[in-house]
Structure 1
């Protein structure tokens, strides 16, 4: 069965949305989706990181770094052409950490909801899939940061909107956002602030179908789309129909960071942080992010357990 046939089968079975499938089929023409991943960035051992692995720590499988992965959408992760191997930006990051620690990478595809229990119970050494550091999560997990969480405003290539850098810039615009998301809450707060200043109203639009959303942007029915920068940046690079005009922290006004999650107090986080910093310093980290159009979310230094988003 071909990769595209498999995607359509998943859609018909209700495991993936039709819009996600067609987006993945488009992107599949642009990137390496082979299970071998010969184009993946690899790294040498980092002795300083290996020395930080606690003497008593037992990996799930000796000699392997077992990581929970959530195949669902690029650039984060999706199934390769063999329909069983996770490939994407997060598997690439996991590979860099595994190489640094002198271990073989073992990716375990799971549903998003299963990673917390899997890490706590010891089924996985770590979970790596766009996990944001929060104060509530820090009660059960240790974190090693590797990306900033950004939301981005994207417009059609021929749009007259050149920059959205502050709340006032959305006044008078028609903006698409997904219901129930943190970016929706940020946008609504901006609209209220602009209203108090007497600025023109912002029209908020909601679309369940990604194809309809795209059409709204291209036709001028909407001026901008506000959503997760990672997926929007990857799509913009692949399709070349939209452009970025502004980014903000996903936890605005607080900074939101994405990190490798490990079980609390097992001592593995410091070794992973050291490994990540070595890859940041030698340039492998930048190459891995660029491969998936995620350079805008790069960090200068990995940190262990930084301040997380506050409890709600």
Structure 2
């Protein structure tokens, strides 16, 4: 193991231990991973079950197989101490849908790059991985929304950068961002605007996991992180080493929502929407979001293929 890999491994181990040992306050809500290990289940929704297409072949018979990007980014996803069991709000949402459909949940930890092909090929029945509805994605996938999309810019606590809210603010900066994400699309659009004005380009910094992101930001190899605001808020509250300097709607310049992502025309989007609206109505949806500090991103009802980034 080289020096960089060793540092990353130690950082990840320390981060995991600290994360489970502490309760953090996110958006005014105390969140405990230790307590959140206990699953939140819900009742079977007969209306949703009745909408399941009779000829649909689940990836694993009797199970709802869901791809979840294993980025170890609480509160969305985080590995338990066994480094195998995936926890987080995304897994909880997947369980509510599976329970509602009368199916056993089969979570498959994946990379972000894997879910599109996995869903279109039938390897996964769905992807629940902080996926934003976009105009381009709607060409290949169906969406049933379950949460507002809010993105945040985070910098080191002692950074001289105090505000990143618009295109001009990213000029010349090195920003950690996920490849193929809607936040990357926003930065690229802002960068194009800046180049037309003669401003300096920004430099995207791509990392593989949370530990690498932390190392890049704290070592000074990156100036800022741009990603889901809830994950940035979690890390800032836990470590006190980062601070929020700007929030942007995920569908910039419009609002956008996060959604359960399904193969286009598979017939699953209607029963999944019914399942989501059922748990919104019975309160289990709010129970999940609130226990992860995501209540501020709740929606009143699930929508199918709404307007998104690029529409």
TM-score, normalised with respect to structure 1: 0.73
Whether the aligned pair in 1 keeps the contact of 2:146 and 2:299 (CA below 8 Å) is yes
Partner of 2:27: none
> Distance between the aligned counterparts of 1:189 and 1:299, measured in 2?
32
Length, aligned pairs only: 288
Any conservation in 1 of the 2:152–2:229 contact (CA below 8 Å)?
yes
CA distance in 2, matches of 1:160, 1:50: 54
Residue-by-residue CA offset, 1:35-66 (whole Å, 9 max, x unaligned): x932x322111222222212322322332111
Correspondence for 2:68: 69
Matches within 5 A, 1:186-197: 188=191
Contact 1:67 1:106 in 2 (8 A): yes
Query: Hey, what does 1:4 align to over in structure 2?
Result: none
Whole-Å Cα distance in 2 between the matches of residues 233 and 55 of structure 1?
43
Using a 3 Å threshold, how does the CA distance of structure 1 residues 302 and 157 change in structure 2: closer, same or farther? same
- TM-superposition CA deviations, 1:113-159 (whole Å, max 9, x none): 22222222222211111122222222221111112221124577899
CA RMSD of aligned residues (A): 4.1
Distance 2:261 2:245 in 1: 31
- Residues 287 and 309 (structure 1 numbering): CA distance in 2 closer, same or farther, change over 3 Å? same
| Contact 1:170/1:202 (8 A) holds in 2 | no
Name the CA distance, whole Å, in 2 between partners of 1:252 and 1:282: 32
Q: Does 1:256 align with 2:260?
A: no
- Residue 28 (structure 1) aligns with: 20
Using structure 2 for the length normalisation, give the TM-score. 0.73
TM alignment of 1:149-164, pairs within 5 A: 149-154=149-154
Aligned 1:1-312 pairs, distance under 5 A:
12=5, 22-30=14-22, 31-32=32-33, 37-38=37-38, 40-75=39-74, 76-154=76-154, 167=166, 177-178=175-176, 181-182=184-185, 184-185=187-188, 188=191, 210-211=214-215, 213-214=217-218, 226-240=226-240, 242=242, 244=244, 246-310=246-310
| Ranges in structure 1 where 5+ consecutive residues have no aligned partner | 1-7, 217-221
CA shift digits 1:231-261 (9 cap, x unpaired): 2022133334555565221231032322111
Residue 230 of structure 1 and its aligned partner are, at CA, apart by 2.6
Please say if residues 78 and 88 of structure 1, whose CA atoms lie closer than 8 Å, have aligned partners that are also in contact: yes
Q: In 2, are the aligned partners of 1:131 and 1:258 still within 8 Å (CA)?
A: yes
Query: How far does the alpha carbon of each residue in 1:193-240 deviate from its partner, in whole angstroms, 9 at most, with x for none?
Result: 9x89xxxx9998988862463587xxxxx8x86543132022133334
| Structure having the higher Rg | 1
Q: Is the 8 A contact 2:163 2:169 kept in 1?
A: no
Task: Please give the secondary structure, in 2, of the residue aligned with 1:279.
Answer: helix
Q: Is the 8 A contact 1:151 1:183 kept in 2?
A: no
Equivalent pair of 2:191/2:201 in contact (CA under 8 Å): no
Partner of 1:5: none
CA 1:98–1:112 in structure 2 vs 1: closer, same or farther (change >3 Å)? same
1:82 is paired with a residue whose SS is coil
For residues 202 and 112 of structure 2, the distance between their equivalents in structure 1, rounded to whole angstroms, comes to: 29
Q: Deviations over 1:22-42 (max 9, x none)?
A: 5444323334369x932x322
